[in-house]
């Protein structure tokens, strides 16, 4: 359902965000008191006639990665503006590089604004798939090297992409099209990442809707977290599997480590430093996690993973107790929208995890993403 456009001053009064404690700012005749509660990667401040939205550099939080000057397209251009990338809001035609941001745009009810995407084979949205099929949405190729000519021909007025350290956007940067750097994936807390829906809501003049969506997610997440608050007996858990010679597991300060803790599990690598992935050898994982109670694996396959597949892939997997005891759960992202939904709805993933770790707490819940491996 579309919400009617509100004047910029009213929008700003509804959502004024800061990265620290609560601050009071007066915009026009309206005083607003609000803050970003979990996200650390963006700030928003209201000015006279425009909004400044800043994305913090996730690799050096003392610096700003990008500053965006958001100006309502119905309002005249202010005479004096600070340095930054000007974006007229609400945006009308956009290109989106990743499936996660497609899901965020979808939640805001703005998929009709998408005219180009990268790697549509990884996007499960029926609307996007149909748009690719009928030609109303352009396949821009790979996210790391999109087709510049197609971007020019699509007449997009804004691009949403994920930044990577020491990496730019190639020839696209020379086009003069605003690139919104969606660094939400660098947040270490599940609700911090989900709160970025409020950042994207600004771009579409959907502040009220974005705030409402986030509050619903926050409430449900905290309700589920409270279920495990008094749990004493916590199952140990291992994550993922080896690729090549390396096994990448979530580090102890990561998004997933936090989810495991909130779901009432004892994550085997919870004491490791860092907020990203931790590369380990198979021998190191086996040594520390051979006796874990549960093992969760995410994968992308045309068919569901089985114990036979795991054994065929790498026979030493058999040494884990979770393999012997048949307590491995898999999530096949080719069949479920794991990567699209869980960054925005960590409550959905938390519910799955609570069910797996403590099934007695959610007796009537059916798993959404993970399922026991077949033989």
Interval 163-194: pLDDT, tens: 998 888 999 999 999 999 999 999 999 999 99
Mean pLDDT of 67-80: 93
Sign of CA dihedral 348, 190, 298, 290: negative
The band of 36, judged by pLDDT with boundaries at 50, 70 and 90, is: confident
Rounded CA-CA distance 111/93 in Å is 10
- CA distances 191 to 219, 370, 373, Å, are 10, 21, 29
What percentage of the chain exceeds 90 in pLDDT?
85
Q: Locate 84 and state its tokens.
A: 């930054």
Q: Locate 27 and state its tokens.
A: 């915009």
Instruction: Provide the β-strand partners of residue 94.
Output: 114, 158
Beta-strand relationship, 328-332 and 371-372:
antiparallel
Rounded CA-CA distance 231/284 in Å is 29
- Pick from 284, 223, 234, 300: which is nearest to 261 by CA? 234
The band of 32, judged by pLDDT with boundaries at 50, 70 and 90, is: very low
Give the model's pLDDT for residue 166.
Answer: 84
Rounded CA-CA distance 10/14 in Å is 6
Given a cut of 90, is residue 250 above it in pLDDT? Answer: yes
Q: Locate 39 and state its tokens.
A: 């996200």
State the Rg of the chain over Cα.
22
Give the model's pLDDT for residue 181.
Answer: 96
Q: Where are the beta strands (DSSP E) in the chain?
A: 23-27, 30-34, 42-46, 51-56, 64-72, 85-89, 94-96, 114-117, 138-139, 158-161, 179-181, 236-239, 242-243, 246-250, 266-267, 277-280, 294-299, 328-332, 371-372
Given a cut of 70, is residue 253 above it in pLDDT? Answer: yes
- Pick from 220, 229, 160: which is nearest to 190 by CA? 220
The band of 34, judged by pLDDT with boundaries at 50, 70 and 90, is: low
- Cα torsion 273, 278, 284, 287 to 10°: value is 60
Give the model's pLDDT for residue 116.
Answer: 97
Given a cut of 70, is residue 216 above it in pLDDT? Answer: yes
pTM for the predicted model, two decimal places: 0.86
Given a cut of 70, is residue 132 above it in pLDDT? Answer: yes
Contacts of 207 (CB under 8 A, 6+ apart): 6, 11, 14, 15, 198, 201
């Amino acid at each position: 359902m579309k919400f009617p456009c509100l004047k910029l001053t009213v929008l700003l009064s509804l959502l004024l965000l800061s990265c620290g404690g609560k601050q009071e700012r007066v915009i026009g005749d309206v005083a607003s008191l609000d803050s970003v509660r979990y996200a650390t990667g963006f700030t928003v401040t209201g000015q006279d006639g425009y909004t400044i939205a800043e994305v913090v550099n996730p690799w050096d939080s003392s610096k700003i990665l990008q500053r965006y000057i958001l100006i309502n397209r119905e309002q005249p251009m202010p005479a004096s503006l600070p340095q930054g990338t000007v974006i007229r809001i609400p945006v009308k035609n956009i290109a989106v590089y990743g499936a996660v941001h497609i899901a965020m745009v979808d939640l805001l009810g703005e998929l009709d604004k998408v005219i180009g995407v990268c790697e549509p084979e990884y996007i499960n949205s029926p609307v996007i798939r149909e748009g690719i099929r009928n030609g109303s949405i352009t396949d821009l190729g790979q996210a790391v090297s999109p087709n510049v000519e197609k971007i020019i021909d699509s007449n997009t007025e804004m691009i949403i992409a994920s930044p990577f350290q020491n990496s730019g956007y190639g020839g696209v940067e020379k086009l003069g099209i605003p690139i919104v750097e969606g660094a939400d994936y660098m947040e270490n807390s599940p609700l911090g990442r989900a709160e970025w829906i409020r950042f994207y809501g600004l771009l579409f003049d959907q502040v009220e809707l974005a705030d409402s969506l986030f509050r619903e997610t926050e409430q449900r997440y905290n309700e589920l977290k409270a279920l495990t608050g008094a749990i004493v007996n916590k199952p140990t858990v291992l994550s993922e599997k080896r690729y090549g010679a390396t096994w990448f597991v979530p580090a102890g300060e990561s998004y997933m480590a936090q989810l495991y803790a909130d779901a009432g599990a004892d994550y085997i690598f919870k004491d490791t430093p860092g907020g990203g992935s931790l590369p380990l050898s198979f021998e190191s994982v086996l040594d520390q996690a051979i006796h874990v109670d549960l093992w969760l694996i995410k994968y992308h396959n045309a068919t569901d993973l089985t114990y036979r597949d795991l054994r065929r892939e790498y026979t030493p997997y058999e040494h884990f107790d979770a393999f012997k005891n048949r307590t491995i759960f898999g999530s096949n992202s080719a069949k479920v929208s794991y990567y699209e939904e869980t960054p925005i709805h960590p409550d959905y993933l938390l519910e799955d995890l609570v069910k797996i770790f403590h099934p007695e707490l959610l007796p009537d819940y059916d798993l959404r993403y993970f399922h026991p491996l077949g033989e």
